[in-house]
Chains A and B, each alone.
Chain A
Amino acid sequence: MSKVLHFEGHKYLRQRLILATLSSKIVRIDKIRSDDQDPGIRDYEAKFLQLLEKATNGSTIEISYTGTSIMYKPGAIQGGRIEHDCGTDRSISYFLEPMLALAPFSKLPFVLTLQGITTDHIDPSVDILRTVLLPQLARFGIEQGVQLKITKRGAPPLGGGEVIFNCNSVRQLKPVQLTDEGRIRKIRGIAYCTRVSPQTANRLVESARSLLNRYIPDVFIYTDVYKGAESGKSPGFALSLVAESTTGVLLSAEKAAEAGQTPEDVGLMASKLLLKEIKLRGCVDTTSQWLNLLLLVLSPEDVGKVRVGQLSPFTIQYLRDLKAFFGVSFKIQPDEQTNTIVMTCMGVGYVNHNKKTT
């Protein structure tokens, strides 16, 4: 318990803090941008620490005077009704993604209201979290009262969006073995636009269909046009796509408009990214690798398996951190036939003691 885990650097800050919270280990992170012109933690990182403090009970966070090192003693995961302004440096997903991993193990049900940017081109959008990550939580038995509602959209740079995330806690996860990637059965998507011509959404859909319809006729993309107060403060549009296979595997890709890109560009880029995910043949897409691996580690003491297409740098570091915090290492078996990787591990049998058995 008294052992302090040491890390260095500003990268992977979120995941380390979350893993520290889940494993109740004290963590110290040094050299946060110590060589940078502008040293120390950034605003969005400070905001994330604040959110973490709100979501837990009894945590202490000490930030050094220069902001280049953090000492974090995790408390209990409390949950309850939390409201947080995420600012406009990073999107809401930057904050919500790690919260998805905490929420199932909290004392009280999570009712989390986050304000900020709903979709940007750096983090996965809230649409992807809702349509892909939440069903993946359900696979592990986290399905009661899980809901993500996007009440307001907010595009960068000014944001102004709002989402509400609900999640009831669970006592224990279900073990999962997911190795059959199946074949793609249908493609769904959401084309959203705010404060631009409503026609933009249709143009997004049109261009995506032009590429995806050569494979499968079952492509349905919702157009989601927000108006008035619900549309946030800045104009923006994006397309997120989800391919579902015969075995219920969900693969996602998305593209948010950057300056100077036409809806046609964005639609095609999103489609190409989806094709890339499909080509990788994983059972989870690159964005959700980390969540699935974490939940496998927290699963009951049984063998859990998942097939992934290719390990992303984020995931590789995550594997190392998972080992540091939980002492679990995955068996990483490349499958030459399909050029995929099967990840196998023994769960640690994590039990949420706050939740009474019924």
Chain B
Amino acid sequence: ASQMFHAHRRINLMDLVYNQTDVSPEDIASGNYDAQDLDGAQEDDSDDDDAFFSLKKEAAEDQLDRMLDTSRTQPTTAEFEEWEDEDMLDSIRNRFITGDIDAANGE
């Protein structure tokens, strides 16, 4: 099933970037497009989604307005808290030369 999901996703990503230009870059990056895609068949649902998205944008407008024209992504507090977790810290252990090379290759 996960294979299916990824196959589906692969087509999506190119399609999303180049063909579906009405989907905003922010939505693609944060993965919001899935909901739109799946609900596309049901008109009512997608309308609801659209309303929801535009609302969210309005709320964040002030901040986005000033911030967006930069190549750096703005970190969120959640991202920092994520790295308090020991398991999270250990998950990238093998990305370093000091880690276990077999585990890194086997992954």
Quick check: is A275 within 8 A (CB to CB) of the other chain?
yes
Chain B positions within 8 Å of A162 at CB level: none
Contact yes or no, A313 B98, CB < 8 A: no
Chain B positions within 8 Å of A273 at CB level: 75, 79
Q: How far does the alpha carbon of A317 sit from the alpha carbon of B22 in the complex, in Å?
A: 11
Quick check: is B14 within 8 A (CB to CB) of the other chain?
yes
Quick check: is B55 within 8 A (CB to CB) of the other chain?
no
Quick check: is A203 within 8 A (CB to CB) of the other chain?
no
Q: How far does the alpha carbon of A336 sit from the alpha carbon of B5 in the complex, in Å?
A: 10
Contact yes or no, B73 A316, CB < 8 A: no
Name the one of B18, B21, B29 contacting A313, with C-beta atoms under 8 angstroms. B29
Within 8 A of B (CB), among A232-288: 246, 268-269, 272-273, 275-276, 278-279, 281, 286-288
Residue in chain B with minimal CB distance to A14: B69
Q: How far does the alpha carbon of A288 sit from the alpha carbon of B6 in the complex, in Å?
A: 26
Quick check: is A184 within 8 A (CB to CB) of the other chain?
yes
Residue in chain B with minimal CB distance to A337: B107
Contact yes or no, A332 B72, CB < 8 A: no
Tier of interface size on chain A: 35 or more
B26: shortest Cβ distance to chain A, in Å? 5
Q: How far does the alpha carbon of A310 sit from the alpha carbon of B97 in the complex, in Å?
A: 23
Contact yes or no, B10 A334, CB < 8 A: yes
Quick check: is B25 within 8 A (CB to CB) of the other chain?
yes
Chain A positions within 8 Å of B75 at CB level: 269, 273
Q: Please, how many residues of chain B have a CB less than 8 angstroms from a CB on the other chain? A: 42
Quick check: is B54 within 8 A (CB to CB) of the other chain?
no
Contact yes or no, B18 A329, CB < 8 A: yes
Quick check: is B53 within 8 A (CB to CB) of the other chain?
no
Contact yes or no, A122 B18, CB < 8 A: no
Contact yes or no, B28 A279, CB < 8 A: no
Quick check: is A215 within 8 A (CB to CB) of the other chain?
yes
Q: How far does the alpha carbon of A14 sit from the alpha carbon of B68 in the complex, in Å?
A: 11
Contact yes or no, B28 A316, CB < 8 A: yes
A-B contact pairs, 6 of them (CB 8 A): A122-B74, A216-B96, A316-B28, A332-B10, A334-B13, A336-B6
Q: A residues bordering B, Cβ < 8 Å?
A: 10-14, 33, 36, 94, 97, 122-124, 183-185, 214-217, 246, 268-269, 272-273, 275-276, 278-279, 281, 286-290, 310-317, 319-320, 323, 329-334, 336-338, 341
Known: A124-B72, A287-B72, A313-B24. 17 other contacts (CB 8 A): A10-B69, A122-B70, A183-B95, A183-B97, A183-B101, A215-B93, A215-B99, A273-B75, A286-B71, A287-B71, A311-B13, A314-B73, A316-B28, A319-B18, A331-B14, A334-B13, A336-B2
